[in-house]
Chain A
Amino acid sequence: RKEVEQDPGPFNVPEGATVAFNCTYSNSASQSFFWYRQDCRKEPKLLMSVYSSGNEDGRFTAQLNRASQYISLLIRDSKLSDSATYLCVVNGLAGANNLFFGTGTRLTVIP
């Protein structure tokens, strides 16, 4: 079983829609969680960290469900500029090297 799994998509949604992605992880002792955004042929950039209590940044909401071992990213009022690949990243046991990446979920927002 992979450490981190994401639905690769693609998700094609109209402008203004709400879309949600999930990412499951296998190690219950995982300690920190992140969502990164990656545009085509560019490097991943941090979108938001995911905190136990859930956190929101404008139209983006991230949540962590430790019991079911998944994190989620909700995007409200989708914009064309949200079109990208969204990667979830999980830090396993303590240690800078214990990072596990999902393969990414591709989102296309359609006019």
Chain B
Amino acid sequence: GAVVSQHPSWVICKSGTSVKIECRSLDFQATTMFWYRQFPKQSLMLMATSNEGSKATYEQGVEKDKFLINHASLTLSTLTVTSAHPEDSSFYICSARDRLALGELFFGEGSRLTVL
């Protein structure tokens, strides 16, 4: 079946540094990718919708200058957490919509970010 690869699966960084998380669709083209955030024992929250070749659409309350999203190709979207702070520590997960399979969503394995 379709696979979405997310990397890294976990990262620890110092406060003030930037961290990039990649989301790749391995065997399909994804015109749309979604980035979510999940705090412990809570549900996923949509952060932004990423469309190939255009600017991402951010949900209310999500700082676009802090969470930079780039969707440069049909198989890759990246989320960069800039100037990370401990409150940014969370589980980040992406999903991708198969361009050819309307509505079918595939999820990455997630990336656990810990900011010290």
Q: Tell me whether A and B are bound partners.
A: no
A contact residues vs B (CB 8 Å cutoff): none
B contact residues vs A (CB 8 Å cutoff): none
